Chain A
């Protein structure tokens, strides 16, 4: 009977095309608007590395100002990051921060241009499942020996080498020669969980170099630097200061490793206290990726307000749909009466009209996808490429499936009262008057 009822739904649509189209439009607008906001929330609040997010931990050492009650710093000092790196007791670990420099292509035809880069360590790439198109990451000896090696993105490789395998070639960055160790494949986690400072949705870095080179080559540091105590003069003064500017991540494979590493952090902090550092109460912590994104409130408050507004718009559209369905189904009282006379029981009539409501909902959902796609394009224009990366703002299979399911089930829910009313008519009255 399902396909029979589906055919009846199509015929019913054809009989009242204007009324039916109004319902489809109302559902499309409500669901489409809701899905625009849902998509933003879904992607912005999603898990950027679900395969191992529970094994990756952001390291927090509270090196903050003892005279204030503010939250612990989200980054580490150079002193702490260096100490943790030298200990190396985690399965993998990486100290990482952003920089910017001028890149001078060897090819004379390409003019120098500025790039945003990331100083990090060899572990960064396997820790975060970073895919390579050509070559490999540098190895740990390059970190230790400050080798001038570099990994570049696929886009930069396209720009500089037309997409050819550029490993082994030399790039000039910030006035220094770097040998290309590898070229990344497409990789752009959203949100950019490993560095949520400033904007977790901005574009990723174009080049990656061993982290210590940022300081040894005096590259321009980008990102946040917070100091609760003024650093002494010179680069050494800065490096030995309580200024925080380094993100530090470790990979811990199970809860034992996690407990051990936290104990190690506490021991380290206790030792530092003996040296007169870390004056606040001990407050070391490990946050896995999802905890970290939540802790940092990566999802802006505005999205919650927009979600509420979109839900209200959806509710208004569904209320309209209830009215339209009521009008449509009560208009079918004659047919319902005839079907009852011919042997339909209320359950079968209810099912028939549930399927009809679902059919309208499905059409509304399909049109809603168009509305949502248009809405997302509008969001891209509003946000603009300058403010943040927007290529992730698009419908994906999950969102498409949710849109259609939401439209179908919301319309069926909206249809319950009209269907109940229509199926409880007195057939005798309508058979005589039809």
Chain B
């Protein structure tokens, strides 16, 4: 589903050349819940941006659902993003002027979906995060946890192939964070692939698979099954 081979990303300025990802190879299959960890500046977010087609890579190959994205132009990348990827951000990134319904409606509008179908999908997404009754509220009227639930509903409404979450609990208190994580696990249990960047080691340990990045390379990869086997031995 997501297949990166020897991805390299170099940021250049007049003075400095920085290699954010180097020989980065990763395959994520349908239904996985992968956490990405690593110290600040190691390349986690760069990986997420390249995976989400928000940035292009310098070299290497990236196949998204079998499509080589290297040569795609803006329109095709936007279409792929819209149909196959859902984003969840640390700071929620809801549009402050739009009510919850309209916020969640945005990706469906870019898909050119008819009004009736959009309404049905948005109502269902709002219901799934328990905020249907507040669909006419604007984000500022919600708590942080509720806003993140709206962001999750927006990411899910288009029924994407996978969710990319960048520190989704980073701005939440621990209780709210637990609730959001429980929701993400439920979504994953229903078959949606999730790739989540986090600083929180405890969250990483909960996931089935954790990728640790250091200096733009994968330094360590562990799965819960392997760890449990190692502990048992």
Contacts and interface: CB of A to CB of B under 8 A. Distances in A.
Given A343-B111, A432-B166, A14 B78 contact: no
A341 B87 contact: yes
Contacts of B111: 343
Contacts of B45: 428, 432
Most chain A beta carbons < 10 A, residue from B81, B93, B106, B166: B93
Interface residues of A, number: 27
A346 B96 CA distance: 22
A433 B149 CA distance: 20
B74 A431 contact: no
Nearest to B78: A345
Given A341-B54, A343-B107, A11 B97 contact: yes
B83 A431 contact: no
Contacts of B90: 432
Contacts of B77: 345
Interface stretch (A105-113, A158-166, A180-188, A331-339): A331-339
B55 A434 contact: no
A343 B110 contact: yes
A345 B75 contact: yes
Contact of A344 (B96, B110, B158): B110
Contacts, number: 72
Contacts of A346: 74-75, 78
Given A4-B109, A343-B78, A347-B75, A338 B97 contact: no
Nearest to B77: A345
A335 B97 CA distance: 11
Contacts of B110: 339, 342-344, 348
Contacts of A347: 74-75
A293 B182 CA distance: 83
Contacts of A338: 93, 95
Interface string B74-89: 1101110111000101
Interface in A339-391: 339-348
Given A338-B93, A343-B79, A428 B55 contact: yes
B52 interface: yes
Nearest to B84: A343
Q: Is the interface on chain B under 10, 10 to 19, 20 to 34, or 35 or more residues?
A: 20 to 34
A231 interface: no
A341 B52 contact: yes
Interface in A9-29: 11-12, 14-15
Interface string A280-305: 00000000000000000000000000
A426 B107 contact: no
A340 B158 CA distance: 15
A334 B83 CA distance: 21
A162 B52 CA distance: 82
Nearest to B111: A343
B97 A431 contact: no
A1 interface: yes
Interface string B36-58: 00000000010001001011000
Interface of B: 45, 49, 52, 54-55, 74-75, 77-79, 81-83, 87, 89-91, 93, 95-98, 106-107, 109-111, 154, 158, 166
CB-CB nearest 4 A-B residue pairs: A343-B82, A345-B78, A343-B110, A11-B97
